[in-house]
Amino acid sequence: MTTPAPRSAPNSSVLPEGWGMVIGLEVHCELATATKLFCGCPNHFGDQPNTNTCPTCLGLPGSLPVLNEHAVELAMRLGRALHCDVNRSVFSRKNYFYPDQPKDYQVTQYDLPTNLGGHLDLPSGHRIGITRAHIEEDTGKLNHVGGGGRIHDAEHSLVDYNRSGVPLVEIVSEADMRSSEQAKEYATELRAILLATGVSDAKMEEGSMRVDANVSVHHLGEPWGTRCEIKNLNSVRSLGRAIDHEALRQIDLLNNGETVRQETRHWDEASGRTGTLRVKEDADDYRYFPEPDLVPLVPSAADIARIDAALPVLPAARRSALADAAGVLATSGGVVVAVERGLDHLAQAAIRSGADAGRVLTHVEHNLAVDGAAALSPEGFGDLVKMETSGELTATQAKTVLAEMVATGGAPAAIAQARGFEALDGSALEGIIDGLIAAHAEEWEHFRNGDDKARGKLTGFFVGKVMQASNGQADGKAATALLRAKAGL
């Protein structure tokens, strides 16, 4: 397991000295079921408006909800992946008047949610508490017409109930995050868990994963301030930007002697600002009461044991396994990227075959993370790294060979030979450098006697010439070392 870090994280760097921010996140994710939560309508994004509706999800008189068994299974699976206790739970009605809910209430879980009290370990080592993860139904989608599509100027709204009744889990975190970076990390890690467990397709751009952020600020060492909730965050990047903007807005207010009002604010990606949406209602205002049409959910110990046994290895455990194999920290960049991109099994196999772990992780982080490892075999990858370690290939050559291995699946030795890659032996390198010193006497003088800045520049100059002269076969590090040795440094 990842080592849990202390709960107090460092102050976010975007804030003025002496200020801190406190962040909790509420994440809604649509469950990957075939049908809706309480009826047999398809749970499918992007269909023609209102084609996936029936009397139940349209709230017509006489209709009754019947719970989707698979939705319960997925919700419990997520709960266990987040180390929650799975409890006896009861559905409640949350009453409000808004056309996104044709029934004038949303069926959710209130005082008795399915999952309670878990945690999520961030790749950076911080442990974020999970308050609860409860099951509820999604709402319909409103399209605001007129007024340029802006909510406040719309002339009327068009309602599509295809999404109404789609099963959701809302995951509520503790207010354990202290910077936008941690919030982004949390959202990214949670998404990885949702994908690994098959609970949701977690597409932020399609709204199957939606993140709301509760943000407050305070003088460090003093009690937390009033929080605002930010909605309409459509990407992890928006989440980070919106949190930093909101924290600075609150600090501005307080510095001007004003107060922060508890309210819901809307993030506008284009202008990079948040604006007031409405003053937050109290829970009392929703008049929750138990949903009479749905009976309690009571998971058995056997259900929970079966779910635990079927859980896949989660990202945190995969990071920790790779870190152990590589002899590095689970928080190191190469490990985090390897697991994020699903390259950890490849890296582990290469390391097990005897390839240098540092070089393996460097290739994963810098050369494989972006383009993937399509045709690359663990054996070939291991062999390549061994050739690099032994000096048969320079770092630059290894990168080129690796790219071709990814594309064609070829063996490294064959590719290196076909490209005429043979690392320069020491005497050839020395010959090239001696020639360069003779041809560039003035630069050489500056290299030997100049200050660090001049030497840095001239190192680039000479190594570049070495590469030119050797057709890229020289090893940059070896060339630099030899230059310094010849200069008596």
Partner 1 sequence: MASLSREEVAHVAQLARLNLTDEQLDTFTPQLAAILANAADVEALDLDDVPPTSHPYPLQNVWRPDVVRQSGVRDAVLAAAPATQDGMFRVPSVLGDAP
Q: Is residue 310 at the binding interface for partner 1, with CB under 8 A as the rule?
A: no
Using the contact rule CB under 8 A, the part of the chain among 66-74, 306-314, 368-376, 459-467 near partner 1 is 66-74
Using the contact rule CB under 8 A, the part of the chain among 37-45, 76-84, 171-179, 460-468 near partner 1 is 37-45
Q: Helix, strand or coil for residue 202?
A: coil
Give CA separation, 286 vs 94, 97, 213, 280, 296, in Å. Answer: 5, 10, 21, 11, 21
Using the contact rule CB under 8 A, the part of the chain among 7-15, 30-38, 423-431, 434-442 near partner 1 is 30-38
Q: Is residue 55 at the binding interface for partner 1, with CB under 8 A as the rule?
A: yes
Comparing CB distances to partner 1, the nearer of 1 and 151 is: 151
CA proximity to 130, closest of 90, 79, 184, 167? 79
Using the contact rule CB under 8 A, the part of the chain among 198-206, 284-292, 352-360, 433-441 near partner 1 is 284-292
Distance in angstroms (rounded) separating the CA atoms of residues 74 and 68: 10
Identify the residue whose tokens are 């809307």: 266
How many residues touch partner 1 under the rule CB under 8 A: the total is 64
The contact mask relative to partner 1 for 120-149 (x = CB under 8 A, - = no) is -------------------x--xxxxx---
The torsion angle over the Cα atoms of residues 256, 260, 263 and 268, rounded to 10 degrees, is 40
Q: Under a CB-based contact definition with an 8 Å cutoff, are residues 335 and 324 in contact?
A: no
Q: Is residue 298 at the binding interface for partner 1, with CB under 8 A as the rule?
A: yes
Q: Is residue 28 at the binding interface for partner 1, with CB under 8 A as the rule?
A: no
Q: Is residue 97 at the binding interface for partner 1, with CB under 8 A as the rule?
A: yes
Comparing CB distances to partner 1, the nearer of 131 and 232 is: 232
CA proximity to 215, closest of 251, 248, 247? 247
Identify the residue whose tokens are 């090239």: 432
List the one residue from 3, 51, 390, 468 that touches partner 1 (CB under 8 A). Answer: 51
Q: Is residue 262 at the binding interface for partner 1, with CB under 8 A as the rule?
A: no
**Phi, then psi, of 88 in degrees rounded to 5:** -60, 130
Comparing CB distances to partner 1, the nearer of 209 and 330 is: 209
Q: Is residue 48 at the binding interface for partner 1, with CB under 8 A as the rule?
A: yes
CA proximity to 240, closest of 220, 267, 275, 219? 267
Restricted to residues 216-255, the positions that interact with partner 1 (CB under 8 A) are: 231
Q: How far is the CB of 92 from partner 1 (least distance, A)?
A: 9
Indicate the pairing of strand 228-233 with strand 263-268.
parallel
List the one residue from 15, 76, 86, 90 that touches partner 1 (CB under 8 A). Answer: 90
- DSSP per-residue codes, 221-289: TS-----EEEEEE-SHHHHHHHHHHHHHHHHHHHHTT-----EEEEEETTTTEEEEEEEPPPGGGG--E
Distance in angstroms (rounded) separating the CA atoms of residues 41 and 363: 47
List the one residue from 121, 160, 181, 185 that touches partner 1 (CB under 8 A). Answer: 160
Q: How far is the CB of 28 from partner 1 (least distance, A)?
A: 12
Q: How far is the CB of 134 from partner 1 (least distance, A)?
A: 15
Q: How far is the CB of 53 from partner 1 (least distance, A)?
A: 6
Comparing CB distances to partner 1, the nearer of 54 and 369 is: 54
Comparing CB distances to partner 1, the nearer of 1 and 158 is: 158
Q: Under a CB-based contact definition with an 8 Å cutoff, are residues 479 and 466 in contact?
A: yes
- DSSP per-residue codes, 69-107: HHHHHHHHHHHHHTTPEE--B-EEEEE---TT-TTSEEE
Comparing CB distances to partner 1, the nearer of 91 and 421 is: 91
Q: Is residue 213 at the binding interface for partner 1, with CB under 8 A as the rule?
A: no
Q: Is residue 119 at the binding interface for partner 1, with CB under 8 A as the rule?
A: no
Distance in angstroms (rounded) separating the CA atoms of residues 419 and 281: 68
Q: Helix, strand or coil for residue 430?
A: helix
Tokens of 182: 């941690």
Using the contact rule CB under 8 A, the part of the chain among 291-299, 312-320, 402-410, 453-461 near partner 1 is 291-299
Using the contact rule CB under 8 A, the part of the chain among 155-163, 235-243, 399-407, 434-442 near partner 1 is 155-163
Q: Is residue 152 at the binding interface for partner 1, with CB under 8 A as the rule?
A: yes
Q: Is residue 417 at the binding interface for partner 1, with CB under 8 A as the rule?
A: no
Q: Is residue 296 at the binding interface for partner 1, with CB under 8 A as the rule?
A: yes
Distance in angstroms (rounded) separating the CA atoms of residues 15 and 39: 48
List the one residue from 287, 306, 366, 419 that touches partner 1 (CB under 8 A). Answer: 287
CA proximity to 322, closest of 341, 335, 340, 312? 335
Comparing CB distances to partner 1, the nearer of 58 and 478 is: 58
The torsion angle over the Cα atoms of residues 396, 400, 406 and 412, rounded to 10 degrees, is -90
Q: Is residue 307 at the binding interface for partner 1, with CB under 8 A as the rule?
A: no
Residues with Cβ within 8 Å of 330's Cβ and at least 6 positions away in sequence, in order, are: 2, 3, 123, 125, 316, 319, 320, 322, 323
**Site residues (vs partner 1, CB under 8 A):** 33-35, 39-42, 48-51, 53-55, 58, 60, 66-72, 90, 95-101, 112, 139, 142-146, 151-152, 154-161, 231, 264, 266, 277-278, 281, 285-287, 290, 292, 294-298
